[in-house]
C-alpha cells in the first residue's frame, strides 16, 4: 500500500540531523505528531516526515527558557531577602498578634515587590533600543550595586529597630523602601526569556511568602537570621549579574 502524501511536506532520511528552524520547529516540538502511527511513512520504512525528526530534537530555546525561569526564581528569592530581613526584625520586636502582622507584611511587601519591577522593565524596554549592545553590562552594574548595598546593610542596624508602633503608614514606607531595589532589578527582566508579568508575579508571591515567614521566625527566634538573609540576597544578585556578562 502506497504511503499517504501531504502536499508540500518534506521527506528527510531517518539519520538526518537537519531540523526545521525557527517558530515552525517550536510548534512541531510542542505538539509532536506520530506520523508513523497513521502510516505516513515511505514504503521502505527508511524515511520519516521531517516533523517527526524535529519532534525528537531538544531545541536550544527550550533549555534557554528553563534557565531563564531558574534565573527569575533566584532573582525573586534574592530580592525578597530585604523584605525578609525587615520582617524578621518586625517579628522580633513586635510579638503581639504575630499572624496578623505576618499577613500585613506579606501583603505590603509582596504587592510592592511585584509592582516595582514592572516600572523597571518598562523603563528598560524604553531605552533598550538605544543601549541594546550594552544592556547586559547595565544589568550587571545594577545588580552588583543592589547586591553590594544589601551586603553593606547586612552589617548595619535594621530600620525596623526605630519603629515603636506598626501602622499602615509605617508598612507603606517600609514596603516602598524595600522595593526600590526591585525597580532597578526590573531592567534585568528585559534580558530574560520569560514573560515580564509572570516574572513580576513570581517575585511578588515569593516576597509575600518570605515576608510572612520572616515575621513568624522573628517572633520565635529573634533577629539572628536577619543580617544573614540580606547577605545571602546580595551575593545571589551579584552572581546573577556576573552570569549576564559571562554566559
For residues 155 and 92, state if they share a domain.
yes
Cα–Cα distance, 98 to 90 (Å, whole number): 9
For residues 78 and 233, the answer to whether their CB atoms sit within 8 Å is yes
Task: Share the mean pLDDT of the chain.
Answer: 74
Question: How does pLDDT run across 23-77, given as a tens digit for each residue?
Answer: 444 444 343 443 344 444 444 444 444 444 444 444 554 445 566 788 889 999 9
Quote the domain boundaries for residue 36.
11-55
Whether 132 and 234 map to the same domain: the answer is: yes
Identify whether residues 146 and 159 lie together within a single domain.
Answer: yes
* Better pLDDT: 61 or 129: 129
Query: Helix H segments across 97-247?
Result: 98-131, 135-153, 168-185, 196-221, 226-246
22 shares its domain with 90 = no
pTM of the model: 0.66
* Same domain assignment for residues 15 and 119: no
More confident residue, 231 or 202: 202
Band of pLDDT at residue 163, cut at 50, 70 and 90: low
Do 143 and 69 lie in one domain? The reply is yes
Residue 5 lies in a domain: no
47 and 154 part of one domain: no
Q: Is residue 2 part of a domain?
A: no
Asked if residue 6 belongs to a domain, the reply is no
Provide mean pLDDT across the span 132-159: 82
Residue 157 lies in a domain: yes
Q: pLDDT value at position 41?
A: 43
Query: What pLDDT does 6 receive?
Result: 47
H or E element, residue 48: strand 47-49
Amino acid at each position: 500500500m502506497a504511503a499517504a502524501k501531504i502536499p508540500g511536506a518534506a521527506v528527510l532520511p531517518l539519520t538526518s540531523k537537519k531540523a526545521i528552524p525557527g517558530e515552525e520547529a517550536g510548534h512541531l516540538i510542542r505538539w509532536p505528531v506520530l506520523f508513523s502511527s497513521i502510516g505516513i511513512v515511505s514504503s521502505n520504512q527508511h524515511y520519516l516526515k521531517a516533523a517527526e525528526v524535529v519532534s525528537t530534537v531538544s531545541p536550544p530555546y527550550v533549555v534557554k527558557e528553563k534557565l531563564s525561569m531558574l534565573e527569575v526564581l533566584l532573582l525573586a528569592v534574592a530580592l525578597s531577602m530585604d523584605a525578609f530581613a525587615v520582617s524578621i526584625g518586625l517579628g522580633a520586636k513586635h510579638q503581639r498578634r504575630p499572624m496578623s502582622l505576618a499577613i500585613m507584611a506579606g501583603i505590603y511587601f509582596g504587592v510592592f515587590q511585584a509592582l516595582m519591577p514592572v516600572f523597571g522593565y518598562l523603563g528598560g524596554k524604553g531605552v533598550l533600543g538605544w543601549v541594546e549592545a550594552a544592556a547586559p553590562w547595565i544589568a550587571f552594574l545594577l545588580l552588583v550595586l543592589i547586591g553590594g548595598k544589601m551586603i553593606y546593610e547586612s552589617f548595619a542596624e535594621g530600620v525596623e529597630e526605630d519603629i515603636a508602633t506598626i501602622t499602615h503608614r509605617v508598612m507603606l514606607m517600609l514596603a516602598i523602601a524595600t522595593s526600590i531595589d526591585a525597580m532597578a532589578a526590573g531592567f534585568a527582566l528585559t534580558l530574560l526569556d520569560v514573560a515580564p508579568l509572570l516574572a513580576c508575579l513570581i517575585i511578588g508571591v515569593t516576597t509575600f511568602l518570605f515576608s510572612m515567614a520572616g515575621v513568624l521566625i522573628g517572633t520565635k527566634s529573634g533577629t539572628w537570621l536577619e543580617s544573614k538573609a540580606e547577605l545571602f540576597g546580595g551575593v545571589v544578585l551579584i552572581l546573577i549579574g556576573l552570569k549576564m556578562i559571562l554566559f
